[in-house]
Structure 1
Amino acid sequence: MSDLQKLIDRLRQAPEYASQVVHYRHLPAVKAAWHALDAVSAPLRIALKGSGIGKLYAHQAQALALLGTGENVGITTPTASGKTLIYNLAVTEALLADPKAHALYLFPLKALAQDQLKTLETWFASLDALNLNAAIYDGDTPAAVRAKLRRKPPRVIITNPDMLHYGLLAFPEAWREFFGHLKYVVADEAHTYRGVFGSHAALILRRLRRLCGEPGPQFIASSATMANAGEFLQQLTGKAFTLVETSGAPREGRHVLFVEPTGSPYTAGAGLLHECVNHHIKTILFTKSRKITELISLWVQESAPKLAKRIASYRAGYLPEERRAIEQRLFKDELSAVISTSALEAGIDVGGLDACILVGYPGTMISLWQRLGRAGRGKREALLILIALPDALDHYYLRHPDLLFGSRFENCVLDPGNPRLLDEHLPCAAAEEPLTAGDWALFGPGAQAAAARLTRAGLLRETATGDAWFSQRKQPQRLVDIRSADEPYVIKSERRGTLLGHVDAARVFKECHPGAIYLHAGQTYEVTALDLETRTVLVAESRADWYTQYTASEEVEILDLAPGQLWRTSREAFTSAWVRVRVTEKIVAYERHRVRDQTLLSEHKLNLPPRVFETQAVLLSVPDRWRRECRDQGLDFSGGLHAAEHVLIAALLTQVLCERWDLGGLSTLAHPQVDQPCIFIYDGYPGGVGLAEKGLQVLETWARAARAMVDECDCEDGCPLCVQSPKCGSRNQPLDKTACRLLLGALDRQPARRLQVPEPPASQGGNMATEKPEKIQSAQTTPTQVLSADVQTEKQPAALPTTQEFRWLVFDLETQKSAAEVGGWDKAHLMRMSVGVVFDGLTGTFRHYRENQVPELIQDLLAADMVVGFNIDGFDLKVLSGYSEFAARIRTFDLLSDIRQTLGFRLSLDHLGQHTLGRPKTAEGLQALAWFAAGNWADLEAYCRADVEITRDIFRFGLQFHYLLYERQGQVLKLPVAWREAFPRVTDR
C-alpha cells in the first residue's frame, strides 16, 4: 500500500479525523485521447520524436489546426494538459516560415517567464536552428542587456504586462521593427487578467495592436476554465476567439476530502500538514491571507522543530530573491512542504507535489481547481483536502459538494471601458502614436468622451485641424501603475533598517496601522510607525501572543445612475439599480485578540486619513412595508438588513469571478439620497471593474443563492456559516437571521422586470479634475477707499464708468531700463515705467499713461474688477511696485501664468499671436528701450498699444472658442482654456 493510501485510510478511519471528514470522493483516472503528429511540419515532428513525443493530445491538434487557419485561439483545458506545447509549436512554425517574424509571450509572474525561457531554449536547441532564440525582457533584466535586446530583438521576447507597458510600448521607435513583424502574442494564465489588473492589461494590448497595425498579430490565450471564456478573451484583447475546451490529456486519479473541523480550521490545517509530511507526502497548503500563512508556518515549526528546515512559507510581500530561493528548494526536493497564499497558484514549476490542502474555499472555482491542480502531476495519484472556514460560502459548498465537481464556473470580469483607466491609458497611447478618431472603436464606446475630458484637462493636445491628439507629457507611462491604484508602501525593520517587504496602499491602513501585528517569514513584528509622506512602515520584532483586527466605518454617496437599466422585483419589494457612487472608508480602531482562544484583550482608537474613491454599485432599496413586517414579528429590521448585505456579498462570489475582498457593502436604515432603507454592494476598486454590473445581470440567481445560504444553515440566530462576515467593520453587529430570511425571500419572490432609465449626461463620465483660473468677484470699492492717505490726493480718471457691470481691462507697460542695467529680473521694481497702455473692455477705448501719470494709472487698475495681462504678475506689477505698495492689490488675470499652469512650460506672446491670431508682435523689448532713449514716444506708445491689442485678442479668442493655438514639434495644437466658465460676466464692446 502506498504512503498516500495509508494517509487517506488514517484520515477516514482514525477517531480524531473521521468525524470531521464530511465528504470523500475519488475522481477516477482519465485516459488520453491521442492524435497523430500530422498537424505539425516535418522538422518539428523530428524534434518532437527526439524529445519522446510521438503523438499529440486531441486538443493540442485541434488548437494547432485552428491557429493554422488564422484564428485567435483560447485554450481552457485543465492544469497540466500540455497547453504550453501548443503555443510553442505554433510560434516555432511561424518563425521558421518567416525569418523576420517575432513572437511576444506575456506571463503575469516573473517566475513563470523564467520557466518558459528554459523550456524554449531546450526546445530551440533540439531543432538545431541557429536563427531561433528567446530572451526575457522584464524589470530584472540588466540595463545593458535591455539595450542590446532593443538594438537586436530576439525572435521571442518573454515579458509581463508591466514591462510591455513601461519598457516596450513607451519606446515605439526602438521596437518598431519588432512590432511590425509580430506574428503571435501569447497570453498565458489569461484568467489572471481580471479586475483592475486585467482592465489595465486589456488597454495595454489595445495599445500594442495600434503599433502593430493591421491585420496585426494572432493571439493565443491559455486559461483556466471559466463560464464566459470567449466573451472574456474578446474583452481582454478586442479580438474574437475560438475556444478549445475539451482536454485530451490523461489524468491520474485524485482523492478529495472535505473537512469540517470541530475546532480552529487553522489548527486543523497545521495538523493535517504535519500528517502529510510524516507520511512522506510532499504537500502544498494554501491559505487565504498573508497573516494565516505565517501563523500556520509558525505553529507547524513550533510543534515539530525537526521539520522546521523542511517547511517554508511563501507569499506576496516577500522579496523576489526570497521567493526564487523557496521555488528552487521545492524543485530540488529540499522542502517537504510549503505554506502559501495564492502566490503559488499559477503554474510555476516547483517539481512534483503529492497533496494539496486548502484552508478555506479560495473564493472562486477557478482558483479552487488551479490550486488542486498543483498536486498529482505525472503518473501519481494525488490527495486534495478542503478545510472549511466558519464562512457562509465555505459551508454552502460543503452542503452542495456536487457544485464543485460539476461543470459550473464563474464569469470572469474586467472593464476596459473604466473611465479612470481610459484617462490613464489614452495619454500613453497618444505618446506612442498620435490618436485619431479611428482609434475610438479600438478603445471602446467611452474613448471619445475620455479624449474630450483629457483635452479639457490639458493631458491631451488636439491639433488645430481637430484630426489628431498628442500627449502633453513625454512619457505618461511612468505615471500609470497597472498593479494597484497607488504606489505601494515599503516595510522596514526599525532596528536594522532592512527592507522586509511591501504592502499596497489599499491594504496598508488595514494591515499595517500603528500597533498592528505583522508576520513575515515566521517572525512576529509590531508596527511602530506609519509614515504617509515617505510611504514607509516601520516594524519591530515582537513576542506578542495576540493578533490585531481593525474596525472600520464607511459612507456611500450616490453620484448618479450608471448607464444601464433599473430592475424591480415588484412594487412592494426591492427596487434595484446600478449606480455610480463615492465611497469613504476609514479605519477607526483596532482590537487585540489572544491567539490561542481569540479572547478580546483591548481596543485602541486610530486617527488615519480616509480612503475615498468612486466606483460602481448595486443599490437595493427596501420599501417601508418590510420594516413594518419585521416590527410586527418582533424582528430587528436593522439586523436583517445588515445580515442580508453580508449574505449577498458571499452569494455574489458564486456568480462572478472575484474574492470577498474585491467587494464592499453598506446597509443603512435611511440613506439621505434614497429616503428609505437600502443596501449597497459595490466594487472595491476605484472606477469599478464591472462586478456590480454583472451582479445586476444575474440578480435572480444571485438572490436565490443568497437565500439558500441562509435557509440551509442549521443555526438559530446566525453564525459565521451564514450571516456573519469575516471582514465586517462593525464587528457583525447587529444581525438578525430571521429578518434577513424575510428580506431575501422578498428579493427572490418574483422574476425581475426591467425598466429603462435615461443615460446620465456625458459630462458626468469619469472624475478627471480640470484646472480653471480662479474666478474673480466684482469689486464694490472705489480707488479712493482703497488707497492710503499718501495717495488719496490722486484724482480718479474722468473716463472711469460708474456702472456696476463687470469692468475688465487689458494692460501692458514698457520700461526705461533693461534687466541688465538694474542688476537682474528680480529687481524689476527699479526698471521704471516709460509708457503704459490700458484697454477698457466696457468702453472699447484705450488710455495711455507716462511715468508722471503712474498714480492715475494705479487708480485706474485698482478700480477694475479684473486686469488682464501677459506676465502681468511676474513683471508689470513688480515694475509698478516701485511706485506704490498698492500695486499689489490690483486684481489680475495673468494669461502667461494660466497657460504655464496648463502646459507646464511658457509660451511667448509672439508665439501665441502668430499661431492663434496669425499676427506676431510688431517689435521686441530692446527696440522699445531704444525708442525711449531716443525720445521716440510715437513708436514706443504704438508698440505698447499693439501688445495690448494682441493680449486682448488672445483673451477674446479664448473666451469665444475655449482654446488657443500653439506649435510643438512641428504640429499646431489646441490649448484648451476655461476662461468663459471662469469669467461669465465679461462682456465686450
Structure 2
Amino acid sequence: MPPVPEFDSLIPLLGRGAAPEEIRHIRNLPAREAVTSPWPDAIHPDVVQAYALAGVHHPYRHQAEAMTAAGQGHTVVATGTASGKSMAYQAPVLSTIHAGRLIAQASPGVLQHPEEATALYLSPTKALAADQLTALQALSRHLSARVHSYDGDTPQQQRRWIRDHADLVLCNPDMLHTGVLPNHPQWSRFLRRLRYVIVDEAHVYRGVFGSHVANVLRRLRRVAALYGTDPVFIGASATSAAPQDSFSRLIGVNPDAVTAVTRDDSPHGAVTVVLWEPEQSGPEGENGAPTRRSVLAESADMLTDLALKQVRTLAFVGSRRGAEAVAQMAHRQLDEVEPGLAHRVAAYRAGFLPEERRELEEQLRDGRLLGLASTSALELGIDVAGLDAVLVAGWPGTRASFFQQVGRAGRAGQDALAAFIARDDPLDTYLVNHPEAIFDVSVEATIFDPGNPYVLAPHLCAAAAEQPLKPSDLDLFDPAAPGILESLVNAGQLRRRPAGWFWTRSEDPAAMISIRAEGGGPLNIIETDTGQLLGSIGTGQAHQQTHPGAIYVHQGRTYVVEDLDLAHHVVSVTRAHPDYYTQARDVTSVKVIKEERHQTWGPITVHSGQVQVTSQVVSYQRKAIPGNEIIGEEPLELPPTDLFTKSVWFTAPGPVLAAAGVQEADFPGALHAAEHAMIGLLPLLATCDRWDVGGLSTALHADTQLPTIFVHDGHPGGAGFAERGYDMAASWFAATKAAIESCSCESGCPSCVQSPKCGNRNNPLDKAGAIALLAAFLDHAPSPATSDTPTDGVTGR
C-alpha cells in the first residue's frame, strides 16, 4: 500500500479500525471562513428584510458580486457546494418581481405596467425544484411575489391559475419543452413580463441531454422575443472549467455577454476525504481473474457502521439497482445487529413516485433517516444541513460531480468524513492510486454539441410548430441549421414558403422528442398481480435492464420481469424472492460511415468520424448473490438496434504490433484488452461515464482492413466524448497504459482490462499484449509539447 498521511480521528467511523489496509490516500480539505459584503443597492429593502427574518443578515462577497452582475446581464455563478448560489439568484429575481408589483399596485387600472416582472426557474430534477420551492415560498410570504411549481406532478386544476397569475414559476427543461413552449399563447401574460431565466445546476447539462437543453433554451429565447422580451439568464453551476464559455454556449450567446463569478467566499467545515480500494474477495471471477470485493457490499458495510454510530450519511451509488442493493444490504445487516435502526436506512432514485421522493427528502432533512443510498438525484443543491458523512460508491463520472457529492457533508460547519470507494474498474483503480488526478488538476470542461443533427433537427421542427421559422431566426441556432432545414423539407417534415419554414403535420413535434433518452420515451413498470405502477425506465435502458427474465428491484422489493412490451411502453413484473441477479449480454458491430478528421503518427493513424453501431441483446446471465458466480444463462430474442453516432478509432499495421512483441495470434486479445481499458479511462478526459460510450476491437476490420480499436459515443449523433478522446489521444493512451501497469493481477481483471458490459464475456483478453500495444502507439505519438494539439488530415474536411 502506498504511504498515506497520519490517520484522521474520523477514520474509525468507517468500521475497519484506525488504520485500514484498504486506504490508499487521505486528503484533508481545510475549513473555510466566510467573507461577507454589504447588500447591493439594487436589492429592494423588503427583500433584505425577508432574508433577515430568515436569519441571513449579509450576503457572502461572491453572492453580492453575482447579484450586481445579474442586474447588468447574463451571469453564471460557478462555486462549490453549499456556497449559497441559490441566494445569489433568488435575491435579484425576488427584488425585481417585488418592486415591479409595488409600482403596479400604485397605478391601478393599468393592464400591464412596464415594471411588472416574471421569472422562470429551471431545475434538472424535481427534488431540487421542490427544495427551492420551499425556500422561495418562505421568503415570498413577506413579499409581493407569487411562487409556484409547474411540472409533471402539478395538478391539472392548478395549471391555468399558475399560467395566469404566478410571478416566479419553478419548472424543468422537460416541462418547458413539452408543456410551456408548444402552448406559449396560454403563457402570454407570463412571457410578456419575463425578465429572468434561472438555469440551476447548469453543469449537469452535458452530452446529448445538454445538447437538447441548449436547443430548448434557444427556442425559449425565440418565443420570448415574440412577446417582446429578452430575459437575462442566470446560471448556477458547480465549479467547472471555463464556466463563461460553457454557459454562453448553453444559452446561445457570445461568451463576452456572460459574466462569470467563480470566487467562493462561503464557509465550510473541514472534510477528511478517504480514497478506499476494497481488498480482493478471494474467489476468482470470470476467466480465472481475481475479483475485488463489490463496491456495493463495501458501501453497505460502511453505511451500516455509520448508522450504528448515529452518523447521518448519504451514500451515492451510480445506478438505480445499486442504490436499492446498498440500502437493502444495510437494512438487513442493521436488522441483525440493532433492529430498531433498520427502518432509518432507505434508497432514493429516479423512477420513484413523486410522493415517495418528497417523503424521503423530508425524512432526510429532519433526521428520521440516518442513512440514504441515492443515485446522483440527490447530488444537486438540495439543502440538507447536518450530514456528517458521504460515501461515493464508484467514480461518479467527473471531478465536478465528485466534489459536489463530497461537499454534501459538513454543510452545517461541522467536520465531516467522505470516502470514495473504488469499483473493480480501470478508472477507479487508477484514481485511488493517483490522487493527484482528483485533487491536483482542474475540473473538466462541460461537453455538449447543440449542432448534433439528431438533436437539432427535431428541435427545428418543434420551433417551426411554435411559430413558423424565419431566416432571421436561424442565428439563434447552430450554423448547421440551414442544411438541416433543407433535409427536413426534402423529407416532408417542413414546408418552405417565402415567409419561412412551416411544420406540416398534425402531431406536436415536441411530444415526439425525449430530451433525456433516445427513442419513444419512458416505459411504465407495472406489477401484474396488483396493477400497481411501480415506476418507469428509459427506452435506452429497457433492453439491458428490463428484458424478460430480468430481476428488477424497487424500494428493497425484488421482481422478475415477465414481459417487455416496447410497442405499448409497458414492463410487466411479478413479485419474487430470487437468490441471484441478472446481467444482459449483447453483440455489436461497427460500420464506418464517414471519416471527418485524422492524425498520422508515423504508421499509426487516429481517426474521427461518423459510424453505425448495430447492437443486439442476445442473452442474460443469472449470477449468485453475494458470490457473483454464474449459475445459468438464457437466450433472448430481442430486435437489434442501430445507432448512428460519432467515434474515434485507431489503426495500426500488423508489422508495427509484431515489432512491439505482439504476435499475430495475440492481436485479438491485445486489442480487446486495450479497448476495455481505454473505455474505462476516457471519463478521465471527458465529462462522461463509461456507460456513455461503447467500443469494438478487431484484428481485421472490414472498413479499415487493419487491426482497429473503436471507441464510440452511446448517443445518436454523438455527444462529444469520442471527439474529446480524439483531441486528447496521446494523454489517453498514456493514462490507460499506466492504469493497466499499476494493477497487480497477472493476466487481467475487472480493475484493469475486464469490462462489466462486454458482449464477448471478456474473452479473449491479453493484458501484457495491451501494454505492449499501447507502448507502440505512444512510441509514435507526437512529443508532449504537441501531443494534444491534433494535426488534422484532409479526409472529410
Alignment-derived partner of residue 146 in structure 1: 159
Tell me, yes or no, if structure 1 residue 411 matches structure 2 residue 445.
yes
- Contact 1:330 1:351 (8 Å CA) reproduced: no
Alignment-derived partner of residue 32 in structure 2? 30
- Say whether 1:227 aligns with 2:238: no
- 2:251 aligned residue: 237
| Whole-angstrom CA distance in 1 between matches of 2:611 and 2:376 | 30
Q: Give, in angstroms, the shift of residue 351 of structure 1.
A: 4.7
Q: Which SS does the other structure have where 1:277 is aligned?
A: helix
- CA apart distance, 1:26: 2.2
Shift in CA distance, 144/495, structure 1 to aligned 2, threshold 3 Å? closer
Distance (Å, rounded) in 1 between the aligned partners of 2:402 and 2:49: 38
Decide whether aligned partners of structure 1 residues 511 and 13 sit closer, same or farther in structure 2, where only a CA change above 3 A counts.
closer
- Of structures 1 and 2, the larger Rg is shown by 1
Q: Which one-letter code corresponds to 1:204 in the other structure?
A: V
Alpha-carbon distance between aligned partners in 2 of 1:462 and 1:634, rounded to the nearest angstrom:
57
Specify the SS of the correspondent of 2:185: coil
**Conserved 8 A contact 1:635-1:739:** no
Task: Look up the match of 2:793.
Answer: 756
CA contact (8 A) 1:546 1:593 kept: yes
CA distance in 1, matches of 2:620, 2:330: 27
Where does residue 663 of structure 1 map in the other structure?
Answer: 693
Question: Which residue of 49, 53, 57 maps to 1:54?
Answer: 57
Match of 1:157 in 2: 169
Does the Cα contact within 8 Å between 1:630 and 1:636 map onto a contact in 2? no
The one-character-per-residue Cα deviations of 1:84-119 (angstroms, maximum 9, x if unpaired) are 111011212322454322111111112222222222
**Equivalent runs, 1:339-738 vs 2, <5 Å:** 339-463=373-497, 465=498, 467-474=499-506, 475-486=508-519, 487-562=521-596, 565-570=597-602, 572-573=603-604, 575-629=605-659, 636-738=666-768
1:123-165, CA deviations, whole angstroms, 9 ceiling, x for partnerless residues? 2223xx43x2221121222222212223x24221111111111
Supply the distance in 2 between the matched residues of 1:320 and 1:561 (Cα, whole angstroms): 46
TM-score by length of 2: 0.90
Contact 1:121 1:134 (8 Å CA) reproduced: yes
Correspondence for 1:322: 356
Kindly tell me: are residues 83 and 631 of structure 1, through their superposed partners in 2, closer, same or farther at Cα, counting changes over 3 Å?
Answer: closer
In structure 1, the residue matched to 2:184 is 172
| Amino acid across the alignment from 1:567 | Q
Between the two proteins, the alignment pairs up a number of residues equal to 745
State the shift of 1:632 in Å: 6.2
Partner of 1:291: 321
2:139 alignment counterpart: 123
Residue identity in the other structure for 2:148: A
- The match for 1:206 is 218
* TM-score, scaled to structure 1: 0.73
- Structure 1 SS opposite 2:694: strand
- Preserved CA contact (<8 Å) 2:384 2:408: no
Give me the whole-angstrom Cα distance separating, in 1, the residues matched to 2:330 and 2:53: 45
Task: Report the CA distance shift for 1:49/1:690 in structure 2 as closer, same or farther (over 3 A).
Answer: same
* Alpha-carbon separation, structure 2, partners of 1:322 and 1:169: 29
* In 1: Cα distance, 2:190 partner to 2:482 partner: 29
Residue matched to 2:109: none
Of 92, 111, 116, 2:94 maps to 92
Structure 1 distance, partners of 2:703, 2:149, is: 53
CA contact (8 A) 1:623 1:676 kept: yes
Alpha-carbon distance change, 708 to 32 in structure 1, aligned in 2, over 3 angstroms: same
Deviation at 1:5, TM superposition (A): 8.0
Give, in whole Å, the separation in 2 of the partners of 1:106 and 1:234.
16
Correspondent of 1:740 among 763, 770, 792? 770
Question: Match of 1:83?
Answer: 85
Change (3 A) 1:491 1:324: same
Structure 1 position 109 matched with structure 2 position 125: yes
Q: CA deviation at 1:121?
A: 2.0
Q: Would the aligned equivalents of 1:631 and 1:637 in 2 still touch at CA under 8 Å?
A: no
Q: Distance in 2 between matches of 1:390 and 1:758?
A: 39
SS at match of 1:469: strand
In 1, the alpha carbon distance for the partners of 2:562 and 2:43 equals: 63
2:314 touches 2:373 (CA, 8 Å); kept in 1? Answer: yes
Show the counterpart of 1:308: 342
> Cα–Cα, structure 1 residues 456 and 713, in superposed 2: closer, same or farther, change >3 Å?
same
Contact 2:13-2:305 within 8 A present in 1 as well: no
> Which amino acid is the alignment partner of residue 420 of structure 1?
Y
- Asked whether the 8 Å contact 1:518–1:527 carries over to 2, the reply is yes
Report the 3-state secondary structure (helix = DSSP H, G, I; strand = E; otherwise coil) of the residue aligned with 2:791: strand
SS of the equivalent of 2:182 reads coil
Task: Tell me what 1:963 maps to.
Answer: none
**In 2, Cα distance between the equivalents of 1:38 and 1:445?**
40
2: distance between equivalents of 1:77 and 1:118?
A: 22
| Residue deviations 1:461-500 (CA, integer Å, cap 9, x gap) | 111x3x4111113532222221221222222222222221
Alignment of 1:826-865 (within 5 A): none
Q: Secondary structure at the match of 1:37?
A: coil
- Residue type at the aligned position of 2:746: E
Letter in 1 for 2:85: K
State the shift of 1:446 in Å.
1.0
| Larger mean Cα displacement after TM superposition, 19-28 or 37-46 | 37-46
User: What letter corresponds to residue 243 of structure 2 in structure 1?
Assistant: A
Given that 2:701 and 2:708 are in contact with CA atoms closer than 8 Å, whether structure 1 keeps it comes out as: yes
Q: Secondary structure at the match of 1:653?
A: helix
**TM-aligned CA deviation for residue 628 of structure 1:** 2.6
Residue number in structure 2 paired with 1:249: 266
Q: Residue 172 of structure 1 aligns to a residue in which SS? A: helix
Q: Contact conserved, 2:645 with 2:716, CA < 8 A, in 1?
A: yes
Equivalent-residue separation in structure 2 for 1:421 and 1:191 (angstroms) = 19
The answer on whether the counterparts of 1:39 and 1:64 sit within 8 Å (CA) in structure 2 is no
Does residue 216 in structure 1 map to residue 230 in structure 2?
yes
Describe the shift of the 1:658–1:57 C-alpha distance in structure 2 as closer, same or farther (beyond 3 A): same
RMSD in angstroms over aligned alpha carbons?
2.1
The 8 Å contact of residues 529 and 574 in structure 2, kept in 1 or not, is answered as yes
In structure 1, what residue type is equivalent to 2:171?
T
- Structure 2 counterpart of 1:336, from 363, 366, 370: 370
**C-alpha separation between the residues in 1 aligned to 2:795 and 2:671?**
29
Distance in 2 of aligned mates of 1:736 and 1:632: 10
Q: CA deviation at 1:179?
A: 2.2
Residue 966 of structure 1 corresponds to none
Residues 425 and 576 of structure 1, relative CA distance in 2, 3 Å threshold: same
Question: CA offsets, 1:521-542, max 9 Å, x none?
Answer: 1122222222233232222222
Change (3 A) 1:643 1:13: closer
Q: Structure 1 CA distance, aligned partners of 2:196 and 2:390?
A: 35
Q: Secondary structure in 2 aligned to 1:366?
A: helix
- Aligned pairs for 1:807-822 (under 5 A) are none
- Comparing 676-685 with 301-310, greater Cα deviation is found at 301-310
CA–CA distance in structure 1, aligned partners of residues 41 and 671 of structure 2: 59
Give the partner amino acid of 2:794.
Answer: V
Secondary structure at 2:186 match in 1: coil
Q: Distance in 2 between matches of 1:491 and 1:668?
A: 38
Output aligned runs, 1:783-822, within 5 Å. Answer: none
- Asked if 2 retains the 8 angstrom alpha-carbon contact of 1:431 and 1:473, the reply is no
